[in-house]
Amino acid sequence: MNKISFKCKHIDDPTLNKHDKIHEIKRCKECKNIKNEKCIHSGEERVIVGTWSTIEIDKAIEKGYELQKIYELEHFEKTSTDIFKLYVDTFMKYKQEASGCKCDPKYCKNDCKNDKECKTKIQYIIDNTAYDLDIDKVKYNSGLRFIAKICLNNLWGHFGMRDNFTQKEYCFTLEHITKIVFNEKYKDISTMILDENIVLTEYKEKEEYSKPNPSVNVYIALFTTAHARLKLYELLDILQERVLYMDTDSCIYNDDGSEACKK
């Protein structure tokens, strides 16, 4: 059995964080609400309720979280770790080849003395990647690299895409406007008169009437981002207060020469 997602209570520790509207990260919901820097709240006041993947739950418990209550648990009995292996390997190969090597003129000025030295450096790249690259195809190609990168990234976007977008319709008759405004399936309805003949209407379908997008799979999307967050957390856990800034795939920190920074 593979547990997929929890909705539960946790106390203390910054492993499972949440963001407020201005992207501040707080371990205590009460401190977040009053923008307080030093927490003075009790354990019960610091309780947070949310939904997380099991790999994040495991890390949180490892770091000292107290799991108080589980409201909901979803799981799949059958699992796989190579659903997208061929897809990812294919486009990573294209991206690596199209990235060229450091001795490519696109990257630096006359770094190679001759073709043999260039081939040696390319072979080094091939030997140190997990993909079966073709040495004759390792050459910088911005167009191919861009396409390969898009193919690698946009797959996740479709799995995590929202279903219920705002719909827009241009109405030319009163009957058309009435159909939309008084439709019980719609919510958040608004109208704008563009001129004497055209009215722009905007609306969303109510959740119970919204048709799910067949390409959406929230479990794939959530585990992709969960693994990414844990990868970033490994670095943050080492650097601690030395971190100056972080994003989903990067981290800027103060290198104070300590052993933590050398890691």
| Structure confidence by residue, pLDDT tens digits, 152-185 | 888 888 888 887 889 999 999 999 999 999 999 9
If you average pLDDT over residues 34-48, what whole number do you get?
69
Q: Strand 18-19 relative to strand 66-76: parallel, antiparallel, unpaired?
A: unpaired
Higher pLDDT residue, 144 or 109? 144
175/235 same-domain check: no
**CA 169, chain centre distance (Å):** 32
Domain boundary among 76, 105, 122: 76
pTM: 0.66
- Say how many domains are in the chain: 4
72/10 same-domain check: yes
Question: Among the listed ranges 9-18, 100-109, 239-248, which one has the minimum average pLDDT value?
Answer: 9-18
Residue 139 structure tokens: 């050459």
Higher pLDDT residue, 206 or 125? 206
141/187 same-domain check: no
90/112 same-domain check: yes
Domain boundary among 53, 76, 99: 76
Distances in Å between the Cα of 163 and the Cα atoms of 41, 205, 223 are: 39, 10, 19
Triad 224, 225, 226: Cα angle to 5°:
95
Confidence of residue 17 (pLDDT cuts 50, 70, 90): low
What percentage of residues in the chain have a pLDDT greater than 70?
76
188/223 same-domain check: no
| Phi and psi angles of residue 202, each rounded to the nearest 5 degrees, phi first | -130, 145
Three-class DSSP labels, 176-219: HHHHHHCCCCEEEEEEEECCCCCEEEEEEECHHHCCCCCCCCHH
If you average pLDDT over residues 206-226, what whole number do you get?
86
Triad 45, 46, 47: Cα angle to 5°:
95
Average confidence score pLDDT of the chain: 79
- Domain of 29 in residue numbering reads as 2-76
Rank 10-14, 188-192, 206-210 by mean pLDDT and report only the highest. 188-192
151/187 same-domain check: no
